[in-house]
Amino acid sequence: MFKRFAQGQVFALVNRSFVAKKSLQCGSYAAPYICIRFQHKQVDLTETSSAAKEVNISEENVIKKPLSRMGPIFPLKQLTRSAKIFENLAVSSPNEQGFREAIETFKKRDVKRLRVMDFISTAVTYMEPFGVAKNVDSYNHLLDLFPRGRYHYRTVFDTLWTRYRPQIDCAVQVLTKLEENRIRPNVHTYDVVHDVFGNDSIPLNKLRRIVFWFDKFDEMYPDPLPKELPEDKQELFEMAINRMIDENMRDSVILSKV
């Protein structure tokens, strides 16, 4: 036993010395290259666009471009394929119909749904410009893009030790967007999430919690405010007074215009 321990210690010591020797050799070889690579010349930044010329920096030609000729930060050619679909439709039809057309275009281009996460993440950011952030059907169409039955838990061990799937995070992102906009999911939303991710999945549990707490909040506030308040001050005053007074006194209250 002691002999094996001694052999192991000797082997470790020899290995460390060999690694240290090689690292020093590599460092000595790489030092001249690093010094040459990071040599640079000072460039006069006060040159105008007409006087900008090529500057040789360590045997590499770097062309200095004027700031006025630089394009936008995110031009259309640098966007993803999913973003190009929404950008093209945002010009012609920035409404719910255009959002549906973008989804149908993605279905035709990507039949196997290989880029479904990229498209859904992009679609969530484009919901406000298209005016569909308050529409529950738009969320249902996005969740319906996931392939059915591929992310189900097959065994008990899959349920206990869940495997990380980025598709689950993408679905939770859509449901979080739905929750932040105070939209109640319907039966179709439940069926889609159940068919895609299964019964004991994280997205379905989040959907159940959303429905549970929305019902609790409705019970706490039996007379909630309308989702869209009027902009006229007279109508706002009447609504506020009608909520404060008794129902029998509403007919006798007359408001004068401000």
pLDDT, residue 124, reads 93
pLDDT, residue 67, reads 35
pLDDT, residue 12, reads 59
Nearest to 84 by CA among 111, 106, 104, 100: 106
- For residue 27, pLDDT beyond 50: no
Q: What tens digit of pLDDT does each residue of 192-247 get?
A: 999 999 888 899 999 999 999 998 887 777 777 777 788 888 888 888 888 787 66
Q: Are 53 and 64 in contact (CB under 8 A)?
A: yes
DSSP labels, 180-244: HTT----HHHHHHHHHHH-TT-HHHHHHHHHHHHHHHHHHH-SSPPPSS--S-HHHHHHHHHHHH
pLDDT, residue 120, reads 94
Q: What is the 8-class DSSP label of residue 55?
A: E
Tell me the average pLDDT across 29-36: 36
φ, ψ (nearest 5 deg) of residue 215 = -65, -40
pLDDT over 90 percentage in the chain:
33
Nearest to 165 by CA among 187, 139, 197, 190: 197
Degrees to nearest 5, angle at CA 124 with 123 and 128: 100
- For residue 112, pLDDT beyond 50: yes
Nearest to 169 by CA among 188, 194, 197, 148: 197
Name the token pair of 112.
């196997």
pLDDT, residue 231, reads 86
pLDDT, residue 14, reads 55
Tell me the average pLDDT across 109-135: 91
pTM of the full structure: 0.61
Q: What tens digit of pLDDT does each residue of 50-105 get?
A: 444 444 444 444 344 443 343 344 444 567 888 888 888 888 888 999 999 999 99
pLDDT, residue 45, reads 36
The band of 36, judged by pLDDT with boundaries at 50, 70 and 90, is very low
pLDDT, residue 190, reads 95
The band of 250, judged by pLDDT with boundaries at 50, 70 and 90, is low
Q: Are 99 and 130 in contact (CB under 8 A)?
A: yes
Q: What tens digit of pLDDT does each residue of 131-187 get?
A: 999 999 999 999 999 998 888 888 888 777 878 889 999 999 999 999 999 899 999
Distance CA 30, CA 200 (A): 55
